[in-house]
Amino acid sequence: MYTWKSASAWKSAIFVAATLVAGCAGEIAEPPGEVGTPGPSPTNGSGSQSPPTGSPGGGSQSPSTPPSTGNPSNPSTPPSSPGNPQNPADPGTGSLPPSMPPAPGEKIPMPTCTPGVAPTSQIPRLTGTQYDRTIRDLLGVTTLDAANGVAPSTLLATDQSGGMTDLAWANYKAVAEMIAAQVMKNPTLRTNFLKCTPTAGDNACLNQTIVEFGRRAFRRPLTEAEVARFQKIVTDGPAITQNGTPEEIAEVLLYMFLISPSFIQRAEITETQGPNGRYALSSHEIASRLSYMIWGSMPDPELDAAADANMLSTPEQIVAQAQRMLQDPKARDMVTAFNKYYLLMNAEGRWGTANRDPALFPQFKAEMVPAMTEETLRFFERVTFTPGATFQDLFLSPVAFVNKDTAPLYGLDASQFGAELTEVTLDPSQRPGFLTRLGFLANFSSYNRTNPIYRGAFITKQVLGIAIPPPPPGAADAALPVSPDLDTNRKQVEAQTAGDECIGCHSTYVNPPGFVMEAFDAIGKYRTTEANGAPLDTQANVVIDPTKDPVSISTPAELMALIASSPSAIRQYARKWVSFAYQREGHAADECTSEQLAAKISAGSYSVLDLITDLTQTESFRFRAVEVAQ
């Protein structure tokens, strides 16, 4: 970092100079969050406060309150690259091995409804994940040298609704200062900011940088007024830096870009009137929506060029870009984030928590657990990026990823595998879909036994989307009954949940799918008897559709085939994608879009990639609406 007059004097001088030049009084909206864990539906309250002045790219805008969303993935990790399906570190995109057929089921008819457009914030802030990925793609910075190598967003406030506090704003400034210094100190990183060499007494290079770098940083061309404001910063540079060198002034210029509301926010302020009182997004706003939905980051040069040429104004132009972008390795970050959201892979979930009694399960090792969970994500990625692979394959495909530790649990020879996960094909009649993989089976078990309640509740609530009330207080602490006649885990669980407060939900919704999954033990091995030799009873009457009678099921394969064709499971998956992509949970305006997608999934031969691109074709993606106060 260059030596300033003093830290406080430099900041004071910068802000005074910028305030006099910029005269901005923009408002910074609440964070919209990483595409991932949607929050409540947006309301009309602004919840905002005036951001500090001093950023030449600011403007005066009044946002709606955006949804609060989560941060489900590591944004600073460079995206993985696509490759050979047999590469143990990288699921590929070759065709899937044959899957089991889904069970015959009722098809969801295409609805006749008209999709709505939900009100959204006009100026949502970048989430922590989006901020990190944008800094990565804009400047090549993934960690902060001045902060022990942490990702930039680590020092920012957590994603949340509401106005920006003074502390949150101070954090943005501190991080921007670190990034600017790091970029100017590193010759390689500096070329991501400066495409020329500034010289004393000649502002041509920095003026060029304002236009070219500013276009990328703001995700749109700068206005003439914004250019003039940044040029004034350059002109005043000698007065607000220690020595007035071109390098010092360049560092100040970069800092000012990074604290600008137009960088921190994703403004959607075009007021082109569309149908039904909606506003059509500009090509630059569409480009931003596309890139942050599919990549969680800024547009690339090709998308920028399309926006500059106004070539993102029709559904056909948009879908062509979406299809291209999904082939970029960065799209895998987005898909992983969605899959974690769909699977409840968060701090409150059960994934990654497996621990077993070594006396009962000597094959289990704690170091297996990350690989078990990672296998599930690899499986979902493999299905998503395989051309033609569908929602049904998530429950029916025999693809698995194993290493030397997990292979024996699948009945495979450990000597044929190394430490890295390698793709294999399992018996589709015994191991169809992700719910028969070690990740689910082991993480949704208890220390010394399987747990039909954990497994059944996940299938019922998260997969089938059937709402069940929370358990009564203290239910989780209820001891498993023990007596000579309760010689199987199933019998013990049935006795445990036989009370009046429990039996209604457990006997109807929770326990039955968990009992079917008793065919797998607490570390995921297939079995036909209990550990004590007692025969297993995996027959159960499972509610697949809450509007219909339960279905008698005897094997996990039967259960998976029914889930794959279940309208309830299909609707749940479609709703989750809509909530994730549009960053709002269960908004009424999105229900028709969800039902249309569900009908396409139900019809078959509708790939997951088709679903993602269709999310860019709705009016809700291409238009914005402003909620009218009641």
List 265's β-bridge partners, or say none.
125
Q: Which has the closest alpha carbon to 360: 554, 495, 527, 555? A: 527
Q: What is the three-class DSSP state of 79?
A: coil
**CA–CA distance, 372 with 407 (Å, rounded to integer):** 11
Residue 612, both tokens: 């993602």
Q: What contacts 24+ positions apart, CB below 8 Å, involve 625-628? A: 625/117, 625/118, 625/119, 625/120, 625/277, 625/278, 625/279, 625/589, 626/64, 626/119, 626/122, 626/279, 627/42, 627/43, 627/44, 627/64, 627/119, 628/44
- Helix, strand, or coil here: 43? strand
Residues of the chain with pLDDT under 50: 1-10, 12-13, 15-37, 39-54, 58-90, 630
Q: Report the distance separating Cα 97 and Cα 74, nearest Å.
A: 31
Report whether 173 contacts 259 (CB < 8 A): yes
159: closest CA among 318, 37, 280? 37
| Cβ(489)–Cβ(450) below 8 Å | yes
Residues 6+ apart with CB under 8 A from 501: 472, 475
> 459 Cβ partners below 8 Å, 6+ apart?
435, 513, 514, 517, 559, 563
The token duo for 121 is 């914030």
Single-letter code of the amino acid located at 9:
A
Backbone angles phi, psi at 211, to 5 degrees: -75, -50
pTM of the model: 0.86
Can you tell me the distance from the alpha carbon of 190 to that of 350, in angstroms, rounded to the nearest whole number? 43
pLDDT digits (tens, 9 = 90+) for 502-524: 999 999 999 999 999 999 999 99
Task: Name residue, tokens 């993602």.
Answer: 612
Question: Contact at 8 Å (CB) between 275 and 622?
Answer: no
Contact 311, 317 (CB under 8 A): yes
Closest C-alpha among 446, 444, 530 to residue 488? 530
Listed in sequence order, the DSSP H helices in 471-566 are 489-496, 500-505, 511-516, 556-564
CA distance 607 to 334: 17
Nearest to 213 by CA among 86, 35, 57, 93: 57
Tell me the β-bridge partners of 304: none
The per-residue pLDDT for 249 is 96
Q: How far from 69 is each of 162, 425, 460, CA to CA, in Å?
A: 12, 36, 24
Cβ neighbourhood burial of 314 (10 Å; 0-12, 13-18, 19+): exposed
Nearest to 65 by CA among 90, 87, 82, 40: 40
Sheet holding 272-273, edge to edge: 272-273, 279-280, 623-624
Residue type, 487: D
Backbone φ and ψ for 374, nearest 5 degrees, come out as -60, -35
Q: Residue 231: in which H helix or E strand, if any?
A: helix 224-235
Residues 252, 232: Cα–Cα separation, whole Å = 12
Per-residue burial over 192-203, b = 16 or more CB atoms within 10 Å of its CB, e = otherwise: bbbeeebeeeeb
Backbone angles phi and psi of 252, in degrees to 5: -65, -40
d(CA 173, CA 181) in angstroms, rounded, equals 12
